């Protein structure tokens, strides 16, 4: 009897090993990747796709990173930012006239082609000091780019090249991305062009306090896909090769990747990109409130009935919130049906909309949920 039980156990172990081996050596050649090219009229960016991504994988059908990489890589470019030295005053100008001006400095980053007529999104910190921008495509074509606009509040920028036959990446709906979802980071770390790394979304709505300014918006997608210097401005894509975010920052006590990287969600980035293309600057809607996160201690101290949401500490005179009926002491819990459990989540939802847009804000007021129609102001 013991021998029979041992035989059965050995059979199960053997089957498990066979399944593990087959999953590691699966053939992906039947999945033909498609590089999406979106026709652009009047400088309009491609629409964000609304279909939901399936994130499940079985032991016999693992996640297909090959198709995603092949779909995304052609639209991710290498950006060389060249900065020529400019004297700060007449004394420096005279000094360097005699002793020679320092050679131009160079830095590299990444960017993503978002339209067939040459618009590329990248990070503001990649290009902000540049006097010349050189863009290299996956097929090794090189072009000089011009700056269309910059937005320090989100650390995004748009540049443009004049080139034929450009591959364009498809945009996902970052609101539908989930914690635990597989993603790929595509970029050019340490001048290692067209590098792809894989990981999962480990958090959403993350504020890491790296952007300065009263109106900065930090609601990053956090991942554990390896990102290093040079990846900035590159693509964070889902398993279908669709753009979820723009890689922007890393957690780096040593200056190199230490386990976490951060990307601007594409739903927020698209609004910034379109405004920079249309106006050269970003036009944002504002609620007109001073706010703070709610937690259990704050809720207990202030007699609140909820432990999640955004507490309205003050209303700005003449702002959208005060004219719509929002009151001090309200706890904002949703915008257009989407939960806002933290200040970054609220900033992302409002920051991705224009002045004049109407939103339904759900507030908890003394234990009662109320829906308030708010028309955002500039």
In contact, 251 and 228? CB cutoff 8 Å = no
> Per-residue pLDDT for 150 more than 60?
yes
What confidence score (pLDDT) does residue 51 get? 54
- 143 in helix, strand or coil? strand
Which one of 81, 110, 232, 261 is the catalytic residue? 232
Distance CA 331, CA 308 (A): 8
Task: Round to whole Å and give the CA distance between 81 and 128.
Answer: 9
Give me the catalytic one of 110, 115, 125, 224.
Answer: 125
Whole-model pTM?
0.78
**Radius of gyration, CA atoms only, the chain:** 24
Answer yes or no: are the C-beta atoms of 81 and 130 closer than 8 Å. Answer: yes
The reply to whether 207 belongs to the active site is no
* Residue 139 annotated to the active site: no
- DSSP-derived secondary structure letter, 313: E
Query: Could you tell me where the beta strands, DSSP code E, fall in 27-175?
Result: 76-83, 105-113, 119-123, 132-136, 142-151, 156-160
Distance between CA 170 and CA 166 in Å, rounded? 13
Contact 287, 376 (CB under 8 A): yes
Nearest C-alpha neighbor of 206 from the set 245, 262, 165, 156: 262
Of 69, 154, 172, 77, the C-alpha closest to 119 is 77
Is 90 annotated as catalytic?
no
Two tokens, residue 7: 């035989």
CA angle 196, 33, 18 (to 5 degrees): 75
- CA–CA distance, 363 with 326 (Å, rounded to integer): 8
Using one digit for the tens of pLDDT, what is the confidence trace for 39-77? Answer: 334 577 777 765 554 444 444 456 779 999 999 999 999
Output the pLDDT for position 62: 67
Contact of 300 with 307, CB cutoff 8 Å: no
Which tokens hold the place of 160? Answer: 């443009």
Query: Of 64, 151, 155, 207, which is the active-site residue?
Result: 155
Q: What pLDDT, in 10s, does the model give residues 279-322?
A: 999 998 889 999 999 999 999 998 988 999 999 999 999 899 98
For 210-227, the pLDDT digits (tens) are 887 767 888 899 999 999
Other CB atoms within a 10 A radius of the CB of residue 147 amount to 16
Of 143, 154, 244, residue with least CA distance to 199: 244
- Is residue 306 within 8 A of residue 331, CB to CB? The reply is yes
Q: Closest by alpha carbon to 244, among 19, 110, 49, 98?
A: 49
Question: Which position has the higher pLDDT, 51 or 354?
Answer: 354
| E strands present in the chain | 76-83, 105-113, 119-123, 132-136, 142-151, 156-160, 182-187, 195-206, 220-223, 235-237, 243-250, 261-265, 289-293, 310-315, 331-335, 338-339, 358-365, 368-375
Q: Residues in the chain, how many? A: 378
For residue 7, pLDDT beyond 90: no
pLDDT at 273 over 60: yes
């Amino acid at each position: 009897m013991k021998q029979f039980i041992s035989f059965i156990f050995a059979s199960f172990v053997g089957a498990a090993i066979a399944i593990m081996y087959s999953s590691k050596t699966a053939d992906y050649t039947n999945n033909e990747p498609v590089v999406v090219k979106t026709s652009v009229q009047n400088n309009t960016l491609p629409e964000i796709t609304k279909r939901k991504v399936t994130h499940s994988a079985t032991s016999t059908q693992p996640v297909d990173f090959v198709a995603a990489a092949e779909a995304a890589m052609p639209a991710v470019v290498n950006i060389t930012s060249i900065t020529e030295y400019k004297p700060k005053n007449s004394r420096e100008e005279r000094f360097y006239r005699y002793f020679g001006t320092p050679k131009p400095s160079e830095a590299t980053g990444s960017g993503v082609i978002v339209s067939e007529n040459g618009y590329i999104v990248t990070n503001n910190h990649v290009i902000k000091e540049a006097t010349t921008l050189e863009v290299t495509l996956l097929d090794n074509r090189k072009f000089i780019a011009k700056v269309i606009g910059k937005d320090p509040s989100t650390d995004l920028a748009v540049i443009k090249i004049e080139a034929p036959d450009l591959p364009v990446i498809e945009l996902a709906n970052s609101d539908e991305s989930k914690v635990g979802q597989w993603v790929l980071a595509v970029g050019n770390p340490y001048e290692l062009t067209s590098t792809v790394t894989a990981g999962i979304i480990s958090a959403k709505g993350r504020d890491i306090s790296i952007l300065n300014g009263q109106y900065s918006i930090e609601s990053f997608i956090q991942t554990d896909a390896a990102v290093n210097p040079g990846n900035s401005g590159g693509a964070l894509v889902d398993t279908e090769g669709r753009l979820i975010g723009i890689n922007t920052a890393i957690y780096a006590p040593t200056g190199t990747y230490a386990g976490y990287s951060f990307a601007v969600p594409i739903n927020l980035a698209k609004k910034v990109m379109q405004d920079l293309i249309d106006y050269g600057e970003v036009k944002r809607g504002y609620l007109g409130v001073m706010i703070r996160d709610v937690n259990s201690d704050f809720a207990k101290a202030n007699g609140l009935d909820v432990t999640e949401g955004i507490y309205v500490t003050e209303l700005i005179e003449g702002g959208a919130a005060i004219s719509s009926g929002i009151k001090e002491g309200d706890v904002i819990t949703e915008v257009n049906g989407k939960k806002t459990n933290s200040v970054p989540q609220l900033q992302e939802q409002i920051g991705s909309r224009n002045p004049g847009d109407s939103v339904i804000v759900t507030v908890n007021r003394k234990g009662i949920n109320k829906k308030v129609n708010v028309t955002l102001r500039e």
